[in-house]
Structure 1
Amino acid sequence: MGSCASDVFRVLFCGEEFNWGYKFTKEALQDDTDIVVSCCPREDVGQHIGSTDLAVPLMARLDCQMLDRAPRLKAILQYGVGVEGIDIPAATQRGIWVSNIPSEGTGNALSCAEMAIYLTLACLRSAHACAESIAQRRVGVPLGRTLFGTTVLIVGFGGIAKELVPRLCPFGVRVTAVRRSSWGQPADASAEALLYDKGAWSDMHRFAAAADIIIVACSQDRTSMGFVNDGLLAACKPGVIIVNVARGGLLDYSAVRAGLESCHIGGLGLDVHWTEPFDPQDWIAEHPRVVLTPHVAGVTELSYRAMAKVVALEARRVQSGLPPTIQLAAVPSPRTEVVLEPQ
């Protein structure tokens, strides 16, 4: 028997980017007649959030002003790891659960690790110069570099790094890593054992000085914003290759541009950018030593179908009055007693 309109639980994908998430989630919940899954452009979220029970932000910011327009909202579930676009304190104050989908176990981290290797190889083999040679009917150029024999520094040691390390080692590289949290957690043991060396965030410059390739795979917050800056690049070898599959704001734009201009940066592989979508006419986008992909590192059928199943599971939990499996916001109980502060 179908549910009446007032009983329908509404899931809203906030943004039309990464649209496979919406499509696969709708497919996963197609037999749940009392759950409706919809999608709207980022600029229209405010028009739909008022009738939403579970919001899934995709490139859309959910700040306190937006949350004020969402009296029915019970939970926010980030489609992926990064929750920097969600005002978690404001959500907590309003009794709204905040959750995300960790990259490990869904194929997301694995997919991002593969993309990091792809971008690294594309930089080493001068992908743009190869395309130019094809266009000019030349053979035997450009002269490439091998991944074999290099030292690769991974910044961050979360899900992506743990998938990346065992995939890099067979190439005959020395893999090092720095992280902000402490080492030695049991879950890290298998990947950690393969590292040539490891250090703390404070060891960054020392590790960067020994690296031929730096792969950025850490989270972005106030402490990590723009950490690839003039100071870090000055510590790097001339010709260093930098690959970013995490967040665009981790690289300082001016420092990276200067590094490319001086040839101190020998190659730059970016799946994430300072603004998205990235301007194709931007100086960096047009540089011959830069390889860009459109924020698709985690966008594979493997990962997106797995993450859609997580959204379906969490939608059913929240619909039943249960909290999300992962809670990033401590919600007062009962929810009806939440007192909103004047904005």
Structure 2
Amino acid sequence: MGSCTSDIFRVLFCGEEFNWGYKFTKEALQDDADIEVSCCRREEVGEHIGSTDLAVPLMARLDAQMLDSAPRLKAILQYGVGVEGVDIPAATERGIWVSNIPSEGTGNALSCAEMAIYLSLACLRSANACTESIKERRVGVPLGRTLFGKTVLIVGFGGIAKELVPRLRPFGAKVMALRRSAWGQAADASAEALLDRKGAWSDMASFAADADIIIVACSQDSSSFGFVNDSLIAACKPGVIIVNVARGGLLNYSAVRAGLETGKIGGLGLDVHWSEPFDPQDWVAQHPRVVLTPHVAGVTELSYRAMAKVVAQEARRLHNGCPPTIQLAAVPNPRTGGAVQAPASRFP
């Protein structure tokens, strides 16, 4: 960690995971002599947050107690979409902005969509069995399946889904989608027009019954946590493939394990996990029909350089006394039942 003076605006990456974000942001701000970009281990955030102006939490939790020790903190900016590790009401009460980087327009959603297709194909082609065949010097096995002719259900219709739909159509797949908000929004029109079928969250069981592949691409909150559970899996076709590129908590662990044991789940492709880093000795990680990647769906040079430019832009604005250009909409306040609005800023 470098030294800090009152004239230096400090950006702190809270955690050493996803380190390309730190490297690219530091590079993007290398000519800004009065902005310092640092990185620390998650366990050390409390030691450095007190002299930080802009925090990038990564996988670190920023709760009320942590925020109490951050008198200079003006904003928290998630390097990506999910802000579930931030106590937003507590930040708002303390005059701290909380923002994320929308997945659309940065290459992040596109990168995650590509990973969802990769994991789907890996499950269809039995990637682990292919590796075993190479080890055993066998040719012509295993027998694979095609994406052509399959029915794919996308759960959630945010940035990832809108990048997925036009990429799935050329494979000859039928594409369905569910969303919690209303259909017919102008911004979604081009991707929505390519769907074979669309429905609401309440249609989950009936849509799942028709799907060969379910791709989980929705946000995780109290209403979606663990929604891939015993009852949903029971409604699925035998041998359904489930792919998750969103958040690990959207899948109920015991339900997924039971589905793999019975064969109801024919393939499981996970880029996100119940705990991270995921234990390689875990039963699910050891299963031959499970394909794992280490939370890298959005970790591409395209997306990480684009997001670094956003962090650099926001750091410059905050340093100049301006509010961030990207801000979260009002969110429910669990303490009052009302909404959390934009905070009073901590600008000088």
Say yes or no: TM over 0.5: yes
Residue 330 (structure 1) aligned with residue 341 (structure 2): yes
Residue 283 (structure 1) aligned with residue 283 (structure 2): yes
Tell me the distance in 1 between the aligned counterparts of 2:181 and 2:315: 31
Amino acid across the alignment from 1:111: S
Partner secondary structure for residue 95 of structure 1:
coil
Deviations 1:70-91 (A, max 9, x none): 0000000000000100000000
Q: Which residue of 1 aligns with 2:155?
A: 155
Offset at 1:315?
0.3
Offset at 1:320?
1.1
Q: Which residue of 2 aligns with 1:293?
A: 293
Tell me the distance in 2 between the aligned counterparts of 1:325 and 1:186: 22
Tell me the distance in 1 between the aligned counterparts of 2:145 and 2:343: 56
Tell me the distance in 2 between the aligned counterparts of 1:287 and 1:39: 36
Tell me the distance in 1 between the aligned counterparts of 2:205 and 2:244: 17
Tell me the distance in 1 between the aligned counterparts of 2:58 and 2:292: 21
Alignment of 1:134-145 (within 5 A): 134-145=134-145
Q: Which residue of 1 aligns with 2:336?
A: none
Residue 65 (structure 1) aligned with residue 65 (structure 2): yes
Deviations 1:5-59 (A, max 9, x none): 2110000000000000000000000000000000000000000000000000110
Partner secondary structure for residue 49 of structure 1:
helix
Tell me the distance in 2 between the aligned counterparts of 1:333 and 1:232: 43
Do the aligned residues in 2 keep the contact of 1:97 with 1:330 (CA within 8 Å)? no
Tell me the distance in 2 between the aligned counterparts of 1:208 and 1:108: 27
Tell me the distance in 2 between the aligned counterparts of 1:74 and 1:331: 12
Q: Which residue of 1 aligns with 2:118?
A: 118
Do the aligned residues in 2 keep the contact of 1:93 with 1:331 (CA within 8 Å)? no
Tell me the distance in 1 between the aligned counterparts of 2:285 and 2:323: 43
Q: Which residue of 2 aligns with 1:245?
A: 245
Percentage of pairs with the same residue: 84
Offset at 1:333?
3.6
Do the aligned residues in 1 keep the contact of 2:269 with 2:291 (CA within 8 Å)? yes
Residue 53 (structure 1) aligned with residue 53 (structure 2): yes
Deviations 1:199-234 (A, max 9, x none): 000001010000000000000000000000000000
Tell me the distance in 2 between the aligned counterparts of 1:193 and 1:317: 38
Amino acid across the alignment from 2:96: I
Amino acid across the alignment from 1:44: E
Do the aligned residues in 2 keep the contact of 1:156 with 1:178 (CA within 8 Å)? yes
Amino acid across the alignment from 2:172: G
Partner secondary structure for residue 267 of structure 2:
strand
Q: Which residue of 1 aligns with 2:190?
A: 190
Offset at 1:112?
0.2
Partner secondary structure for residue 177 of structure 1:
strand
Offset at 1:297?
0.2
Amino acid across the alignment from 1:59: M
Task: Report runs of 4+ in structure 1 exceeding 2 Å deviation.
Answer: 328-337
Extract unaligned runs of 5+ from structure 1. Answer: 338-343
Tell me the distance in 2 between the aligned counterparts of 1:125 and 1:333: 53
Amino acid across the alignment from 2:116: A
Q: Which residue of 1 aligns with 2:337?
A: none
Partner secondary structure for residue 33 of structure 2:
coil
Alignment of 1:89-100 (within 5 A): 89-100=89-100
Amino acid across the alignment from 2:341: A
Q: Which residue of 2 aligns with 1:270?
A: 270
Tell me the distance in 2 between the aligned counterparts of 1:227 and 1:73: 35
Residue 209 (structure 1) aligned with residue 220 (structure 2): no
Q: 1:33 to 1:136 in 2, by over 3 A?
A: same
Extract unaligned runs of 5+ from structure 2. Answer: 329-339
Q: Which residue of 2 aligns with 1:258?
A: 258
Q: 1:326 to 1:336 in 2, by over 3 A?
A: closer
Tell me the distance in 2 between the aligned counterparts of 1:310 and 1:205: 39
- RMSD of equivalent CA atoms: 1.2
Tell me the distance in 2 between the aligned counterparts of 1:336 and 1:114: 40
Q: Which residue of 2 aligns with 1:167?
A: 167
Q: Which residue of 2 aligns with 1:233?
A: 233
Partner secondary structure for residue 224 of structure 2:
coil
Q: TM-score, normalised by structure 2?
A: 0.94
Tell me the distance in 2 between the aligned counterparts of 1:116 and 1:92: 35
Residue 316 (structure 1) aligned with residue 327 (structure 2): no
Q: 1:215 to 1:332 in 2, by over 3 A?
A: closer
Alignment of 1:23-42 (within 5 A): 23-42=23-42
